[in-house]
Amino acid sequence: MNDRAIAVLEKYDIEVLRSWKGRSAILCETKNGIKILKEYKGSEERLLLQQQLLKEIKKNGFSHLEDIISSKEGEILVKDEEMNSYYLKEYAEGKECNIRECQETGYVAEQMALLHKAMELPEFVKEKNIPRYSLLNEFEKHNRELKKIKKYLKSKRQKSDFEYFLYQNYDRFLDKSEKILEEMRAHPELLGEEKAFNKGSLCHGDFQHHNALLNKEGIFFVNFEKYVFDNPMRDLSLFFRKMMEKNDWSKELGLFVLESYQKQRKISEEEKYQLYYRLSYPEKFWKIANFYFNSSKVWIPEKNMEKLEKVLKQEEEKFLFLESNFREGVLRKS
């Protein structure tokens, strides 16, 4: 993002009082509130669908979220002199959710549940022919990648300290990923995907704490660019995992956030399985291994070792939380 991008603001029916740089964006103060200008690399069709989706969510009862603003000419994308594309969104000042603060995380979970209720849009999904997302397909892809990386590590004669440490701990994570996939394949009905699809359940797709802004008016959700037709537990698991990792998988905090979500939207038995498998899968280990494999191996950052050591520590904490609060309470009941 460069200063010349500010010139594209003249293509909108707004009066800019001042502007400043934000995270990969330019924020603008106008007489009608804060706007944010962002560069865009995706397809115009998907962005247009995002604009329509946000309007549908608001019609369906949830208004605390961004909106994409069209230009004076009714265009959703505008270009600068170098033909870079930009789009403009509504914004709200506020602080990111503090995932170490119990009451804040509980409040965000409640509001997420209300958002999910408003994102049940079967007619919209059908009309726009939005494709389904498959958790099973994603885990199958991840497992293929993990096996490929293990084969590469095994064949490498001279290993760095990180590669040796990664290889030493590989089987425990690969075995776990295989076991989870095996359970999912054996009992696909437990995931309740058809129910979610029949409801037309759409998700934010990248529900992180920095996409929940808190201010005196309540909450404002932003960055819906990764919206997807998937089970609502996708969003809850993304938020929940990050929060729990930062709090050493605290049982008290975890249960409080789940209870907060269910004040507004009950988690069905099938969704509990969804949440369990999404949290159980060794996603962080896959990310570390995949990042290593797809990057230059001439120099391996020290942070890779730190991240792997942290995952090893957290895996045990996560296992204890999930076994006592999900596996024993939900899966072993059936």
Whether the per-residue pLDDT at 202 is higher than 70: the answer is yes
If pLDDT is split at 50, 70 and 90, which confidence band does 198 have? confident
How far is C-alpha 119 from the chain's CA centre?
Answer: 15
Q: Please state, in angstroms and rounded to a whole number, the distance separating the CA atoms of residues 198 and 31.
A: 42
Domains 3-43+65-91 and 102-333 share a fold: no
DSSP string, 209-230: GGGEEEETTEEEE---TT-EES
State the pLDDT at residue 92.
87
Q: Mark 225-244 as b/e (b = at least 16 C-beta within 10 Å).
A: eebbbbbbbbbbbbbbbebb
Spell out the domain ranges in the chain.
Answer: 3-43+65-91, 102-333
Q: Tell me the torsion sign for CA atoms 267, 272, 273, 275.
A: positive
Q: Right CATH number for 3-43+65-91 from 3.50.50.60, 1.20.1260.10, 3.30.200.20, 2.120.10.80?
A: 3.30.200.20
DSSP string, 11-75: GSS--EEEEEEETTEEEEEETTEEEEEEE--S-HHHHHHHHHHHHHHHHTT---B--EEP-TTS-
Domain 102-333 architecture: Alpha-Beta Complex (3.90)
Whether the per-residue pLDDT at 6 is higher than 90: the answer is no
Name, in order, each residue with C-beta under 8 angstroms of 110's C-beta and a sequence gap of 6 or more. 260, 261, 263, 264
Judge contact between 287 and 281, C-beta under 8 A: no
pLDDT tens track for 80-99: 888 889 999 998 889 999 99
Whether the per-residue pLDDT at 304 is higher than 50: the answer is yes
Q: Please state, in angstroms and rounded to a whole number, the distance separating the CA atoms of residues 334 and 329.
A: 10
Q: Please state, in angstroms and rounded to a whole number, the distance separating the CA atoms of residues 202 and 207.
A: 12
**Residue 132, H or E segment:** none
Tally the C-alpha atoms within 13 A of residue 81's C-alpha that lie toward its C-beta.
6
pTM, full prediction:
0.92
pLDDT tens track for 62-85: 999 999 999 999 999 999 888 889
pLDDT tens track for 127-148: 999 999 999 999 999 999 999 9
pLDDT tens track for 39-60: 999 999 999 999 999 999 999 9
Name, in order, each residue with C-beta under 8 angstroms of 268's C-beta and a sequence gap of 6 or more. 192, 195
Whether the per-residue pLDDT at 314 is higher than 60: the answer is yes
Name, in order, each residue with C-beta under 8 angstroms of 315's C-beta and a sequence gap of 6 or more. 173, 282, 285
Helices (H), 97-169: 102-118, 122-128, 135-155, 161-168
Whether the per-residue pLDDT at 330 is higher than 60: the answer is no
